[in-house]
Amino acid sequence: MKRNTLLLLLTAMLMAGCSSKPAIPVSDQQTLVMESAVLAAGISAEKPDISSLEGATVSRSELYNERSVPVVVHYRFYWYDAKGLEIHPLEKARTVTIPAQSSVAVISTASYPDARKVRLSLSL
């Protein structure tokens, strides 16, 4: 009896999994990922926004340095399609030096015309 119940439960779980949409959610609260060391270095950032510029999908974010010394930050934009799937090839990580008590804008252009969401990752 326990075996039949277990088989019925497994079958129900498989059917439920098959009926879901093939999408990976990219939450609006997760568009900016910062290592704790970045925050400790006095860096803050705006969530990346998405816009269209001359037919291209572009993302921009402003990085702020609250400290009295320049800080070197590594960043990478990750682009996602309408289903939430990561778009490849991935951009290479880039580096920017944010001057003391100043700000710098970082920008990325999607390599795929159907890019719908973006995530910005910051590290030291």
Dihedral pair phi/psi, residue 78, rounded to 5°: -115, 125
Quickly state the pLDDT bin for 30 (edges 50, 70, 90).
Answer: confident
pLDDT digits (tens, 9 = 90+) for 69-120: 999 999 999 999 988 899 988 889 999 999 999 999 999 999 888 899 999 9
pTM (predicted TM-score) = 0.76
Class of the CATH domain delimited by 23-123? mainly beta
pLDDT value, residue 10:
55
**Cis ω for the linkage preceding 22 (within 30 of 0):** no
pLDDT value, residue 20:
46
The sign of the CA dihedral 96, 114, 80, 45 is positive
pLDDT mean across residues, the chain:
85
Name the strand (E) or helix (H) holding 11: helix 2-18
pLDDT value, residue 95:
98
Quickly state the pLDDT bin for 23 (edges 50, 70, 90).
Answer: very low
CB 82 within 8 A of CB 114: yes
53: left (phi over 0), alpha (psi -120 to 50) or beta: beta
CB 115 within 8 A of CB 82: no
